[in-house]
Chain A
C-alpha cells in the first residue's frame, strides 16, 4: 500500500479528474441529504416546500411516529439476527480457515474449492429449496429461519478472507506451538486468533452489513410482525404510511444509524481489509 499513481506536484493539476470527482460527490450526497431533510420536515409542509430546502419548521414528529409504530421491536429483531449470525460465522469460518491453512491433507484443498464455488454462484437462486427446508425444519416465521441461512451464505467469503490472511502467518510460529505441546485448539485460540484479528474485524463488519440490510430471506422466510426485521419494516412502512413520506424516510435514517456508527468507528479497518487482498 505504499506506492501509487503520479504525483500531481510535478504536473499540472488534474482539473478534469477533480471535476468528475466533485460531480460524483453530488450524485452520492443529494439523495442522502434529501432523506435527512425530508425526515425533519412536518408532514404538512412536504407538499408545499422545496424538497431540497432546509425545513422552515424542522421537527422530530416523523421520528416519533416511527418509534410509536413498533420500530424498536423490528430494531431488536435486526440486532439479534445480526449479532448471532455474525458471531457464529466468525467462529465457524475461523475454524474452517485454520484447517484449510494448516492441514496437509487433500481434503482440505477440496474443502476450500467447495467454498470458492459459493462465490461464483448466485446463491440467492437457492431460495426456493431453502424455503422448503425451513418449513420442514419447523422454523418458518422464526428468527432462526433468518440466522441459519445467513450464516451459511456468509461462510464462503469469510473463509476466503481469513484463509488469505492466515497464510501470511509464518509456519514456524505454528510449529513452535506444536513443539511446545499445544493442541490444535490452543494454537487456534492463542496464535491464529490474535494474529488474524484485523481480518476478523473486516469479515465481521462486512457480514454485519450484509445481514443487517438483507431483504430476501426475511421476505420469504418470515411473515408476522413479531419476526419482522428492519429492511422489511421499511417496506411495510412504505405501504402503511404511503402519504407520510417524512415518516418513511425517518425510518430509513433510524435504520442506517447503527451501521453509520460502525462505519465511523471501523472504517479504516474495513476499507483496508477489503482492498488489501484484491490488488495482489
Chain B
C-alpha cells in the first residue's frame, strides 16, 4: 500500500538527490548528454568569486532573517495566543501573507517601493523614497524585510500553538507568587517553548536555503550580485549560463548544509523529541 508513495518519492526526489551528486562530477549544458568531468566542477565552483560571494550572502541572509523573524514570530505568537476578541481578529489578518505566491509578493513590493510612485510619495516621507531595489546597499535589506513579511505569519502560528499548550496552572502559581508579566514570560513561557523554538528555527534555517522565487522576481540577484544567494546562484548558473555541472556542485552544497543544520538542531533538542515535533507538523 505504501508502494505508490514510495515510487513517486523515490523517482522524483531520492533519485534526483543522488543524481545531483553524480551530475556535480559531470559536464552538461542542459541540452546534449552529460559527460564525465571528474572533480573539475568542484574546483571551478569553489574558486569562483561569484559563488563565494553567494555563500557569504546566504550566511548573512540565514543569520539576519533568523535574528529578525524568530523574536518577532515568538512575540506575535504569544500575543495571538491571548483569548481577547480583537486578538482573534488580528490573527486572521496576520495569516493573509501566506496566501500570496512569492511572485505576487515580489511584484507588489517592486511597485510599492518605487522611488517615484511608491510608499514614500504616498506618505510624504522623503526617507522612504529611496531607490530600494536599485541600490546595492539597500537591496539586501529589502529582501530580508520581504522574506520576513512572507514567513513570520507561519512561524507565529507555530508559537501560538505552542503557547496555548502551556498549562495555565503554571501561570496561576506564578501569579500567586507575585511574578510580573515579564518574569512570567522569562521563567515560564520561554522555557516551555523550547521545542517550538527549535522546530521553528530548523524550518527557518533550512527555509533560508530555499529562498528562490521571491528574490528571483524581486531583484533577480541584483543589483550586480548584491542579492544573489546560493539557490539563485544555482539557478542562474544552471539555467541561464547552461553550466549544469557547476550548478550541481552548488546544489550539493545546499543539501549538505541543510542536512547538517537539521541534524545539529536535532541533536540539540534530543533526537526523539525532535522527531515527534516533526511528526506533528
Contact = CB atoms under 8 A, between A and B. Distances in A.
A126 B107 contact: no
A133 B95 CA distance: 36
B118 to A, nearest CB: 6
A95 B84 CA distance: 41
Nearest to A112: B279
Contacts of B16: 126-130, 133
Nearest to A252: B104
Interface stretch (A60-68, A69-77, A173-181, A230-238): A230-238
A5 B158 contact: no
Interface in A178-233: 184, 188, 209, 212-216, 219-220, 230-232
Nearest to A116: B278
Nearest to B22: A129
Contacts of B181: 6, 11, 14
A4 B83 contact: yes
A42 interface: no
A96 B100 contact: no
A122 B206 contact: yes
Contact of B196 (A111, A118, A129, A278): A278
Contacts of A119: 262, 278, 281
B47 interface: no
Interface residues of B, number: 110
Contacts of A151: 8, 12
A146 to B, nearest CB: 11
B221 interface: no
Given A122-B210, A164-B279, A274-B157, A51 B122 contact: yes
Interface stretch (B49-57, B132-140, B253-261): B253-261
A220 B189 contact: no
Contacts of A130: 12, 16
A120 B279 contact: no
B277 A280 contact: yes
B111 A278 contact: no
A31 B79 contact: no
Interface string B231-252: 1001100110000100110011
B213 interface: yes
B149 A27 contact: yes
Contacts of A155: 5, 8-9, 13
A153 B112 contact: no
- In this complex, the interface size class of chain A, counting residues with CB under 8 Å from chain B, is 35 or more
B275 interface: yes
B119 interface: yes
Contact of A129 (B8, B15, B101, B213): B15
B201 to A, nearest CB: 13
A128 B103 contact: no
Contacts of B277: 278, 280
Interface in A239-277: 245, 248-249, 252, 255-256, 259-260, 263, 267, 271, 274-277
Contacts of B276: 280
B269 interface: no
A159 interface: yes
A6 B171 contact: yes
Contacts of B263: 120
A28 B146 CA distance: 11
A126 B165 contact: no
A215 B102 contact: yes
B161 A255 contact: no
Contacts of B117: 46-47, 51, 245
Nearest to B154: A274
27 contacts: A6-B181, A34-B119, A46-B117, A51-B117, A51-B121, A52-B119, A95-B5, A96-B4, A96-B5, A114-B9, A119-B262, A122-B209, A128-B19, A128-B23, A151-B12, A155-B8, A209-B98, A220-B235, A220-B239, A235-B103, A235-B217, A238-B107, A255-B104, A271-B95, A274-B161, A276-B161, A280-B277
Given A125-B254, A159-B5, 18 more contacts: A4-B83, A4-B166, A5-B166, A8-B82, A10-B175, A31-B109, A92-B4, A100-B2, A114-B6, A122-B255, A127-B235, A132-B34, A160-B279, A161-B281, A256-B99, A278-B280, A279-B163, A280-B165
Interface of A: 1-8, 10-11, 14, 17, 20-22, 24-25, 27-32, 34-35, 38, 46-47, 50-53, 91-93, 95-96, 98-100, 108, 111, 114-116, 118-133, 148-149, 151-153, 155-157, 159-161, 163-164, 184, 188, 209, 212-216, 219-220, 230-232, 234-235, 238, 245, 248-249, 252, 255-256, 259-260, 263, 267, 271, 274-280
